[in-house]
Amino acid sequence: MHKSLNEIAQHLPANVLAEDCPSRAILQHVTSRWGTLILIALAPGTLRFAELRRRVQGISERMLAQTLQVLESDHLVIRTAHEVVPPHVDYALTPLGAELAVRVLSLAHWIEENLPALQEAQT
């Protein structure tokens, strides 16, 4: 019996340089303007919505809520709502998210440390 295209695709290595590889979409989420910063802010531990908003300076409520939903759907962040009034919602990295965050932090820290070299005299 022949294998379906899907079955074959399953075993092909993912490649972000390929236009239609699903990995590219996730890379996009992670490297989105606010996605990266949210991952970084959550790295040290669980935070509530308002606190997260304060850490990720400059983000609007709308973007925070929206980006969190995307990260949640990628299984990188977990949302825990406590049914009380006023609302109390916690956001944390999943184990998967934590692994990713390590890479993101490494990237961000490198930039922070090499900032002087990066912004040297632009002609």
By the rule CB under 7 A, 33 interacts with DNA: yes
In degrees, to the nearest 5, what angle opens at C-alpha 36 toward C-alphas 31 and 42?
A: 150
Using a 10 angstrom Cβ sphere, with 0-12 exposed, 13-18 middle and 19 or more buried, the burial of residue 29 is middle
Decide: 71 and 29 in contact? Cβ < 8 Å: yes
Residues 43-62 that bind a copy of itself (CB under 8 A): 55-58
What x/- string results for residues 73 through 112 when contact with a copy of itself is judged by CB under 8 A?
xxxx-------------------x--xx--xx-xxx-xxx
Task: Say which entry of DNA, a copy of itself, none residue 106 contacts (CB below 5 to 8 A, set by partner kind).
Answer: a copy of itself
Between the CA of residue 120 and those of 64, 87, 107, 112, what are the distances in Å?
A: 33, 47, 19, 14
What residues line the site for a copy of itself (CB under 8 A)? 13-19, 22-24, 26-28, 30-33, 36-37, 40-41, 55-58, 73-76, 96, 99-100, 103-104, 106-108, 110-115, 117-120, 122
